[in-house]
């Protein structure tokens, strides 16, 4: 098997192999863990190389605690800072049942370049946060900040909450099973395992994910437009600006695959993989033109669990999408990162979709 570099440990193991050997990743779920249960010293970080031609390397150490990132006004984060806006993506990424909150902040006077509705480009200084609550316990808040002009110039780090819930400190190496839960905090490298396969790195604050009527006070696509944050308005005057084709069940399936699989399985991913599940604005006029349909329905894939077709019409048990979700070996289960348990509701949604093809 050819060398895949640093991210090779995390990025392969998709519905088809990364090369002609038929190999799949045996280490996709590796989470680097700290050697001690103590939180790291504040300010300790790792340098991340953003790559060539990306507006400069991503090198700053993380702020000493979560409040210092600009999210909140106190270390316990009981009050969100002015200028920080909460939002919720239309379709959720399964994270072992954890509940999540998300925020974004743009530098004053800046806008997101939305010329390409599939890949928004964010101004230097853009910040995003995602808080995880598992089994009723606030366990971590992830932070990403745009550090340069290039698409890849982002810094990622997770902040781990202490047992008293009074402060969150950076944990660049990650840790498994935090605060008595089954939740794993990812390392910086593991964060890249998902984000680096989308060329502009942001997964949740995007055109498709914001194109719904979010409950107040959460921001959605119309709210972002009203705030003057977008350089180019999306089509239409009201949401949905990018209406999906098909029945409500089909739309839910397209959205689920976009959110849970599309960050790796997409037409612009550096991975050599199929199928492609990320929604594209130019490919939503009909179900049959979507990347999901064209790259999965009746399409052969690497055989797994007795299945040889990625989505075999009216036969979910012989569809690779389902057999990979059901894999007993977690190293071969899809999605490859971010979860240790099977999303039963998501699997049911996909089974219904395939049964009705």
Q: The sheet that has 99-105: what strands, in order across it?
A: 85-87, 99-105, 127-134, 137-146, 154-161, 168-170
Which backbone phi and psi does 101 adopt, to 5 degrees?
-125, 150
CA distance 274 to 266: 8
pLDDT of residue 272: 61
pLDDT of residue 284: 98
Angle between helices 344-355 and 248-260 (to 10 degrees): 130
pLDDT digit string (tens) for 227-258?
999 999 999 998 999 999 999 999 999 999 99
pLDDT of residue 30: 32
Res. 264: pLDDT tops 50: yes
Q: For the residues 289-293, what does the mean pLDDT come to?
A: 97
Q: For the residues 33-49, what does the mean pLDDT come to?
A: 34
> Token pair of 352, please?
């219904």
Q: For the residues 260-274, what does the mean pLDDT come to?
A: 83
CA distance 182 to 190: 17
CA distance 294 to 225: 32
CA distance 254 to 257: 5
Domain boundaries, the chain: 1-30+244-357, 31-236
Q: In the structure, what pLDDT confidence band is assigned to residue 175 with cuts at 50, 70 and 90?
A: very high
pLDDT of residue 338: 76
Q: For the residues 284-295, what does the mean pLDDT come to?
A: 97
- Residues 231, 112: contact at Cβ < 8 Å? yes
**Picking from 12-16, 120-124, 180-184, 271-275, which range would have the lowest pLDDT averaged per residue?**
12-16
- Residues 333, 324: contact at Cβ < 8 Å? yes
Res. 168: pLDDT tops 80: yes
Which residue is it, tokens 């990162």?
Answer: 337
Buried residues in 249-264 as b, exposed as e (16+ CB within 10 A) = ebbbbbbbbbbbbbbb
pLDDT digit string (tens) for 65-116?
999 999 999 999 999 999 999 999 999 999 999 999 999 999 999 999 999 9
> Token pair of 33, please?
């863990």
pLDDT of residue 12: 32
| Cα 225 versus chain centre, distance | 23
């Amino acid at each position: 098997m050819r060398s895949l570099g640093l991210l090779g440990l995390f990025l392969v193991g998709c519905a088809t192999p990364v090369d002609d050997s038929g190999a799949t990743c045996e280490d996709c779920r590796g989470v680097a863990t700290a050697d001690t249960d103590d939180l790291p010293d504040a300010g300790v970080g790792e340098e991340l190389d953003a790559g060539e031609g990306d507006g400069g390397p991503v090198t700053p150490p993380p702020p000493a605690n979560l409040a210092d990132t600009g999210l909140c006004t106190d270390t316990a984060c009981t009050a969100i800072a002015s200028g920080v806006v909460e939002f919720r993506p239309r379709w959720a990424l399964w994270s072992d049942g954890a509940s999540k909150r998300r925020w974004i902040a743009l530098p004053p006077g800046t806008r997101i370049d939305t010329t390409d509705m599939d890949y928004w480009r964010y101004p230097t200084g853009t910040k995003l946060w995602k808080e995880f609550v598992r089994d009723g316990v606030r366990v971590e808040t992830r932070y990403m900040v745009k550090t340069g002009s290039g698409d890849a110039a982002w810094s990622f780090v997770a902040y781990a909450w202490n047992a008293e819930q009074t402060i969150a400190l950076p944990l660049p190496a990650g840790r498994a099973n935090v605060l008595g839960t089954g939740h794993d905090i990812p390392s910086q490298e593991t964060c890249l395992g998902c984000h680096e396969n989308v060329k502009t790195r942001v997964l949740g604050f995007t055109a498709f994910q914001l194109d719904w009527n979010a409950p107040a006070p959460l921001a959605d696509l119309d709210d972002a437009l009203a705030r003057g944050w977008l350089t180019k308005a999306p089509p239409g005057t009201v949401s949905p600006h990018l209406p999906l084709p098909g029945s409500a069940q089909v739309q839910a399936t397209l959205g689920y695959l976009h959110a849970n699989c599309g960050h790796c399985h997409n037409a612009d991913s550096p991975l050599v993989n199929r199928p492609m599940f990320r929604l594209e604005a130019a490919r939503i006029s009909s179900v049959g033109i979507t990347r999901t349909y064209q790259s999965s329905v009746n399409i052969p894939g690497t055989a797994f669990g007795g299945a040889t077709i990625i989505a075999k019409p009216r036969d979910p048990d012989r569809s690779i999408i389902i057999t990979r979700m059901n894999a007993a070996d977690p190293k071969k289960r899809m999605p490859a990162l971010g979860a240790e348990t099977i999303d039963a509701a998501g699997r049911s949604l996909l089974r219904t979709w395939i049964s009705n093809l």
